[in-house]
Amino acid sequence: MATVVNFSGKTTSQRICLKPMAGPGPGPAIGSLAFKRTCQFPLSRTNTVQHCIYMTRKAQDRLLNEHRVFPALAATRNLDIFPGSPSPSDTIKQFYRCINEKNLKQLRDHISEDCYIEECSFHTPLQGKKEVMSFFEQLTAGMGQNVKFILRHVCEGDELTAAANWHMEWKNKQIPFTRGCSFFECSKEGEKIIIKKAQIVIESPIKPGTLVLSMLKTVTSLFDGFPKIAEWFLKSPHIVLRWLWKIYALLIAPLLESYLRLWNLAARILGHAYYILLYTAKFFFNEE
């Protein structure tokens, strides 16, 4: 008897062929009958391993996409997995809560010793914990009891970075021109996450609109026309600003001051003339 068995990777069929065997009695030989049986076999070991590798890579790609597209959501999921681990977003929320509550002692714990803050309303950045805390002391004193920071969104990035956009409210009513964004770089100090660097951008009350595009075109044309001067200016813009301020103080400011005094004198003369006319009109109309 000869037997042939064929296996495939997924679904196998077993074909059994029997050579004719002569039997002692009459009737067809057993070998003349053909038997075909089909049965299901599980995946082979190699295919199972390949399937597991494929599913693992698919899950990793999905997690990577979530980190790229939804960083805050991914960070929240990580916090759910490790609920005891601190995060930059928690530090930022506590930071603004300390400002609203005027809790300078706790606020100090969230600032590193070599903290560096770029506040776009100032010409020079704030360097060092002492200078930074002095700024926040003045800020909390100026806010009074009714002004609060309201966080709208807090997002996390890679390498202990975070960002928040916010506005200020007075008795739950938004104050105009107080929207802003803050970008933070944090560092670990033991089990705490503290603020190492920050950049704060505040909404400007001046809305020049398309004038900004015209100014940008003019500036870029000047830079392209005088590249050496442009490089010097970009390397040391504060020096140029100081010279411009001196020119303004020496030449432009006196002219503006005299111009304002002239308009003030003209307004007073017009006011006196108006009162004279009013008195004259009353005098003549009363006589009639």
Q: Is residue 141 part of a domain?
A: yes
Q: Is residue 268 part of a domain?
A: no
The whole-number pLDDT of residue 61 equals: 65
Query: What type of residue is 146?
Result: N
Q: Is residue 286 part of a domain?
A: no
The whole-number pLDDT of residue 32 equals: 41
Q: Is residue 125 part of a domain?
A: yes
Q: Is residue 278 part of a domain?
A: no
Exposure string for 165-204, b = 16+ CB within 10 A, e = fewer: ebbbeeeeeeeeebebbbbbbbbeeeeebbbbbbbbebee
Note whether 2 and 17 are within 8 A (CB): yes
Residues 31, 92: one domain? no
Residues 94, 193: one domain? yes
Residues 30, 59: one domain? no
Domain CATH code at residue 169: 3.10.450.50
Residues 124, 152: one domain? yes
In terms of residue numbers, what domain contains 29?
11-40
Residues 158, 131: one domain? yes
Strands 180-189 vs 192-202: parallel, antiparallel or unpaired = antiparallel
Q: Angle of helix 227-235 relative to helix 211-225, nearest 10 degrees?
A: 110
The whole-number pLDDT of residue 285 equals: 74
Phi and psi at 189, nearest 5°, equal -130, 95
Q: Is residue 280 part of a domain?
A: no
Residues 166, 112: one domain? yes
Strands 111-119 vs 192-202: parallel, antiparallel or unpaired = parallel
What's the predicted TM-score (pTM) here?
0.55
Q: Is residue 249 part of a domain?
A: no
Query: What type of residue is 85?
Result: S
pLDDT in tens, the chain (288 residues): 444 444 444 444 444 444 444 444 444 444 444 434 444 444 455 566 566 666 776 666 665 555 444 444 444 444 443 445 779 999 999 999 999 999 999 999 999 999 999 998 887 899 999 999 999 999 999 999 999 999 999 999 988 999 999 999 999 999 999 999 999 999 998 889 999 999 999 998 888 888 889 988 998 998 899 998 888 888 877 777 777 788 878 888 888 888 888 998 999 999 888 888 888 888 777 655
Strands 173-174 vs 192-202: parallel, antiparallel or unpaired = unpaired
Phi and psi at 52, nearest 5°, equal -65, -40
Residues 160, 177: one domain? yes
Distances (CA, A) of 252 to 190, 239, 276: 55, 19, 36
7 CA to centre of own chain:
58
Query: What type of residue is 49?
Result: V
- Beta bridge mates, 165: 153, 181
Domain total for the chain?
3
The whole-number pLDDT of residue 41 equals: 45
Residues 161, 132: one domain? yes
Residues 116, 148: one domain? yes
User: In sequence order, what E strands does the chain have?
Assistant: 11-16, 35-40, 111-119, 126-127, 147-156, 161-170, 173-174, 180-189, 192-202
Residues 154, 189: one domain? yes
The whole-number pLDDT of residue 120 equals: 87
Residues 32, 60: one domain? no
Residues 131, 197: one domain? yes
Q: Is residue 248 part of a domain?
A: no
